[in-house]
Structure 1
Amino acid sequence: MNQINVIQEIDEFKKLLSYSKNIGFFFGAGSSCAFGLPNIYKLTEDVESMLNSSLKPHFLNLKYSLSDLHTRTNISVEDILNYVRQIREITGEKEDREYDGVNGRVAQLLDEQICKKIFDVIQAKERAADITELRKFFAWLDIANRSNVKEVFTTNYDLLLEKAMEDNRIPYFDGFVGSYEPFFWPESIEKSVSNNDSTFNWIRLWKIHGSLNWEFRKDSLSDSFKIVRNGKVDEPENELVVYPSKEKYNLSRKQPFIAYFDRLKNYLLQGERLFIFSGYSFSDQHINEIIFNSLRQNPRLYAICMCFSDEQVDLMEPNAISHLNLCVMGPQKMITNGKLYQWKYDESIGNASESNLYWNKGEERFILGDFKKLSAFLIANSGKKKSIEEAVYGK
């Protein structure tokens, strides 16, 4: 395998950061794992252990069915949720209809309890999380180039991002409006905001897989369900809106998911962009189609994927070699300009004075796949570290 000098590549990355006027971010589960939240497979184990005795056998049976169907053992709680929701759909939630040993009523109860246990697990981890580095990241993003709207997309349904911004008193917008029961207003994210609008510098947060503080609420007049966003929630009263299945994507444009997908597509297709992925495993085909189509259609879009493991680099290789505007960086490997390389650390070329920010000399590996390390690198490279720390610590 050919080698490439990590110092030179980081110098190029620094140049991209300095001249890019529009930088967007996409956060996956790995970014939350950096703050102690479980990855999807640990979350699956936790949910499984917490289900009540009447529903747990159904959960396990569906898990085994999916293992046989997909010929793999790493079935996640999201896979199971999607399957449960398909059963709800085809049975009409009726007790006298069943599929794969699960009737409609049980599927409904199982869906609701899985989401409730996800809430319990993540909320407990959120309370214990130290989000100082996340607050620093948003302080950096808030004072970064103000000539373009700042947008953050995420598949995470935890509330760490919201907590970090609110702790910093940074205004953000997610498409919901109102104060009593905030409702989703798609028109608010479909129109461009002029730079003289008071909300122009608000950070846009698009939670593509829903959120722990979204609930389905029944409308008393129409007898239909709507999605509302709560504030701080200690105990959800209604069914949570997390990890929407394919059916939920297609239910209505009044729901956030399709509108968020459209926002992602439009954002990536509009002019020059630097788009940085952190903690995203590229396991959602709905999202991947938008990303790779945008990379093909917009030659001025440049995407960088920071990977925590080299296994992810290997998985990305088939797509990365056919998209010259996609760069993938892992601990030992990198894909750039359609070619796979092995990292080489050579201090004789380039500026190695701050290499500890992106390279672990002892373990000889690239470390920006860790969100905390990426955040520290961005802040150090900005030249505004003092202002950022003042914004966080108030000194």
Structure 2
Amino acid sequence: MVKKGRVAVGMSGGVDSSVAATLLKEQGYEVTGVYIEAYNEPGCRSDQDRKDALAVVAHLDLRFKILDLRKEYKEKVVKYFLDEYQAGRTPNPDIVCNREIKFGLFYDWAISRGFDQVATGHYARITTYKDSPRRDLQGESFWLQRPRDRTKDQTYFLWQVPRKHLEHILFPLGDMLKSEVRTKAKEIGLPNADKPDSMGVCMMGELKVEEYLRKQLGENPGKVVLITKSQKFRSSHKIAQRSELWEQGSELRSIGTHRGLWFHTIGQRGGWEMEAKMQKAEMEPLYVVGKDREKNQLIVGTREETMTNEIGIDLSTPLEMTRKLWIRIRNLGELVAVTQCHSGTVTLEKPIFAPAEGQSAVFYDERGRVVGGGVIDTCNLTKNVP
């Protein structure tokens, strides 16, 4: 078999990256498995994951490397994670981890050592279109595209991977269903074929976020206040230090206490302590609508108050609205049609639930290609409440 080139495969110890390495070897690539040491705190499964990765490369007879990025992970991902929560926003550590670690430092390490390609077990595709009338605004011809298995689509987490890197990245699982990946792992006898999928934070594992934040940031108790349908609430970290977070003359009713704004995210139901008299009252379910950092108040309301069809986004690059676009504001969330995008303000075809400052908004075209994205910085919550 003619060798296609050298490829460094990021091996997490899980089934997906193991099958990705298997497929590349079968296709004729010279494969080296690379385990990235990133987070190794009490409760983390990194030791077991490393052993699982080593068992797989031994089974496949591959070269194996360990890349120690613990210091860089702490500086680039953990610090971001804590800073965003402390600032009252909702972070996307998986997106930053992919940009800075897997397709940043790991990618640079591999290319600088003569590897032709970098591969992972992500569910995504990289495509080119010869029939495109022209290249996109960045002059790049490679596109990140949704995978065949839409239930495992990870393009949301990958949108910040530099476009210039896509030419040297492989996603072998892009055209496979998860069930087919499991079947393949069992057919070739991979030692981790039955290992459960990781559902936690990128490279942190199944982190207990509230417990971790309490350990790192402590507690800062404050009031929980209720907003009514007649009030218009504008949530934005840009004005989080101002008191004019709601219309002049409106009243907010204190209904309980919270232990720290960083323990709550927009759209969260419950999780705070209600006053005794409020516990007996018949009320609709309440959700977090926003946060006032200056007053250390958590703003809550009904589900209606979490809905909006207009969000402000700090766009990474200009968007070309000459074609129909769809937006996604959370991983595996609904794709909603965009009707207008002007100066970073995006109007949607219908209201969406609980967009949160700090989260990413990713844009797709009719082919499922990622055409842009940005970080949500303003949400006009209750805009459509009568």
TM-score range, shorter chain: under 0.3
Structure with the higher strand share, 1 or 2: 2
Q: Greater helix percent: which structure? A: 1
TM-score (norm 2): 0.27
Q: TM-score, normalized by length of structure 1?
A: 0.27
* Structure with larger Rg: 2
